[in-house]
Amino acid sequence: MQPIERYLPWSIRILIAGLFLVSAYGKIYPDPSAYGTISMFEVKQLYPLGFSVELAKIFSRALIGVEFGLGLLLLFPFDLKKWVIPALISMLAIFVVHLTIEIITTGNKGNCGCFGALLPMTPLEAIMKNILSIGLLALLWKRFGAQLPARSNIWFLTSIISICMLLMFVFIPTYKAATAVMVPVEQNSGSDPQLKSGIDTTKMANPKIGKDSTKVAKPKDLGPKMKKSGYEQHFANINQGKKLLCFFAPSCDHCRATAKQLTALKNSTPDFPEIQILFMDEAAEEIPDFFKFTGASYTYKVLDIIEFWSVLGGNRDVPGVAYLWNGNLVKLYHGPEGEAAFNKEDLKTQLQKQKLRP
């Protein structure tokens, strides 16, 4: 027997087992008890397929348990050719079909979630990885099938899968209390009580302009007719005047960079809209450091991860910035890159546009 034929079967088994174990771990990275990445997987991957909230919670944990179990079983000498390898190929094939549909419907963009936040990967990259894995498993099954252990132990297989699934439900509970608590933070460092109370003094009458003044005040831009934006349950004044509603994750570098750009714009632009933030409840303890990096503090609210993605939209990604005028959505930026991503120059252009209410 040639050395390559002796070592290649084990090499393939170790490689594919590693891919499945890393894939399963990536979906609960960095902390299983944080309830973070798995919720993103449910919202972005399972909800679009028609899963209900409760069914998505059960299916996601079961799927991760199966991934862990199959990855481990590929390293054991039981029913490899009969059950384990066919099960691995079938799972990969299902992923390929799902990702192909996703590319057709929404395009090849964003993180497909195959490795969670551990190793971001586009749907097309994931398809290529899965097809390569299927090819290696097919080679292992067809070319080296005679060299694979032929021992059968269904009890061992079912026990490993069951234990892995059970552990997922133990370490990742299906319920976490929401932490949607408003925490108001003044937007200005001065001591003016009107600023602290939230009154926009830039729109108050100028006392220097009397009836004898030769200066002519510009007509006030009332903007479009006021409507409910749907965000008023989070911020009571969101539909009054111009507002920027931001969707950020505290530990997201792109979110921090966007917030810093907004602070720079606020400091250099007269009558800049009030900035309000909805934070994802993931690494919420980093919010103070987020504001320190940003260079300013803003009124914010922390939402449970599932609620956060429901408000932003499961097909969108952070950072998100919504420009609202009297409750009307003028522009929504979302995602770290691409045409829809935040663009400070475009926002400046949008803010300069005026539209008088009929």
Amino acid of residue 348: K
| Residue 131 dihedral angles phi and psi, to the nearest 5° | -65, -40
pLDDT winner (highest mean) among 149-163, 312-326, 336-350: 149-163
Band (35; pLDDT cuts 50, 70, 90):
very low
Residue of higher predicted confidence among 84 and 310 = 84
Band (122; pLDDT cuts 50, 70, 90):
confident
The pLDDT of residue 94 is: 94
Rounded to an integer, what distance in angstroms lies between the CA atom of residue 124 and that of residue 61? 25
Band (355; pLDDT cuts 50, 70, 90):
low
Mean per-residue pLDDT over the chain, rounded: 82
Query: Does the pLDDT at position 240 exceed 60?
Result: yes
Structure tokens at 349: 């252009």
The pLDDT of residue 38 is: 74
Residue keyed to tokens 């699934």: 165
> pLDDT digit string (tens) for 101-112?
888 887 887 777
Query: Does the pLDDT at position 184 exceed 50?
Result: no
Min mean pLDDT across 33-47, 64-78, 228-242 is at: 33-47
Amino acid of residue 17: A
The pLDDT of residue 214 is: 43
Residue of 67, 103, 65, 60 lying closest to 305 (CA atoms): 60
Do 140 and 2 meet the contact criterion of CB atoms below 8 Å apart? no
Amino acid of residue 49: L
The pLDDT of residue 221 is: 61
Residue of 235, 228, 203 lying closest to 299 (CA atoms): 235
Please compute the mean of the pLDDT values over residues 265-271 and round it to a whole number. 91
Structure tokens at 285: 């303890």
Query: Does the pLDDT at position 315 exceed 80?
Result: no
**Centroid of chain to Cα 278:** 13
Amino acid of residue 168: M
Please compute the mean of the pLDDT values over residues 283-288 and round it to a whole number. 88
Please compute the mean of the pLDDT values over residues 151-158 and round it to a whole number. 94
Beta strands (DSSP E) in 192-327 are: 242-248, 274-280, 299-303, 320-325
CATH superfamily of the 182-190+217-352 domain = Glutaredoxin (3.40.30.10)
CA distance readout (Å), 88 to 49, 66, 72, 261: 22, 10, 11, 46
Query: Does the pLDDT at position 283 exceed 70?
Result: yes
Rounded to an integer, what distance in angstroms lies between the CA atom of residue 291 and that of residue 297? 5
pLDDT winner (highest mean) among 52-61, 146-155, 218-227: 146-155
Residue 277, SS3?
strand
The pLDDT of residue 50 is: 77
Instruction: Write down the domain spans for the chain.
Output: 3-171, 182-190+217-352
Rounded to an integer, what distance in angstroms lies between the CA atom of residue 80 and that of residue 87? 10
Residue of higher predicted confidence among 47 and 115 = 115
Please compute the mean of the pLDDT values over residues 187-194 and round it to a whole number. 36
> pLDDT digit string (tens) for 299-309?
999 998 778 88
Looking from the CA of 339 toward its CB, the CA atoms found within 13 Å total 1
Please compute the mean of the pLDDT values over residues 225-253 and round it to a whole number. 92
